[in-house]
Structures are given as structure tokens and as C-alpha cells.
């Protein structure tokens, strides 16, 4: 294997793993929509061709491998199929690649959320609204 295959022109490495595409690590709230229901998830990483999400609640049964899903986050949306499921961690392959511009927008959203305290600050706000009966 070529040692330089995963290097940028300036010599920096790109995280590619088994998938052959670099992935953007995030921690953003999202929704996973199935034919039956929709579920709150955390978008853990995303690439042009797929994503990994973590369920925010225990659902039984979880979406099956091969199930058609829609992943929605902020202003992003992608249709795809479940590739794998392990302890609430779900891998999704998109039907069509998302645009590079959408990945940039997702990165900016992630950075903005991190500046405001991260995902935990959103979860606390959701809990506060629920307790106040404004849900």
C-alpha cells in the first residue's frame, strides 16, 4: 500500500478508516426517521456517503439492517439505508452523496454549538422546558 495514499499535499493525514472517505466528527442533535417512527439521535460523524448516529433513547426494536431511513439535522437531510447497528450506534449509507457545501455547513454548526456549551447544553435546555411543562 502506498504510504502517501492518505496524505494531503502538506503531509497532514486524513482520517479514512475502512470507508475510504474522510469523516467529519460531530456531536449534533438530529432525527432518524423510519417508515414507522422518528427518533432523536446524536450525529457522531458524517461523510459525503454516510453517517454514524447514536440513539438518544432506547427503542425496541431498533431499525433493522437494510431499513430505509431519513437523517435530518439542522438544515441537512439525507435518505439512506441502515448498514449496521451495535448498542444504539447506527451506521447509515446515503442513497446520494451529500454536497461538500453541506458538510462545511455542518462543520460550522458543530463549531457554533461547541462555542455555546455543546450538546449537553441543548439537552439541559430540553429538560428545563419539559420540567416547566412547555414541551
Q: What is the pLDDT of residues 85-127, one digit of tens each?
A: 988 899 999 999 999 999 999 988 888 877 777 666 666 666 6
Given this model, what pLDDT does residue 117 score? Answer: 74
Given this model, what pLDDT does residue 24 score? Answer: 85
Given this model, what pLDDT does residue 13 score? Answer: 33
Q: Give me the helix-helix angle, 118-131 and 100-115, nearest 10°.
A: 70
Q: Which residue in 57, 53, 58 sits closest to 80, CA to CA?
A: 53
Is the distance from CB of 70 to CB of 78 less than 8 angstroms? yes
Is the distance from CB of 55 to CB of 65 less than 8 angstroms? no
pLDDT higher than threshold 90 for residue 45: yes
pLDDT band at residue 135, thresholds of 50, 70 and 90? low
Domain 20-131 class, CATH top level: mainly beta
Tell me the domain boundaries of the chain: 20-131
Amino acid at each position: 500500500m502506498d504510504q502517501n495514499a492518505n496524505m494531503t499535499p502538506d503531509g497532514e493525514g486524513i482520517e479514512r478508516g475502512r470507508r475510504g472517505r474522510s469523516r467529519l466528527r460531530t456531536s449534533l442533535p438530529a432525527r432518524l426517521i423510519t417508515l414507522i417512527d422518528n427518533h432523536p439521535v446524536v450525529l457522531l460523524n458524517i461523510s459525503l456517503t454516510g453517517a454514524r448516529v447514536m440513539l438518544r433513547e432506547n427503542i425496541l426494536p431498533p431499525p433493522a439492517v437494510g431499513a430505509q431511513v431519513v437523517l435530518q439535522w439542522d438544515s441537512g437531510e439525507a435518505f439512506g439505508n441502515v448498514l449496521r447497528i451495535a448498542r444504539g450506534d447506527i451506521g447509515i449509507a446515503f442513497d446520494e452523496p451529500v454536497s461538500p457545501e453541506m458538510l462545511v455547513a455542518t462543520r460550522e454548526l458543530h463549531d457554533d454549538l461547541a462555542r455555546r456549551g455543546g450538546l449537553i447544553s441543548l439537552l439541559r435546555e430540553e429538560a428545563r422546558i419539559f420540567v416547566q411543562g412547555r414541551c
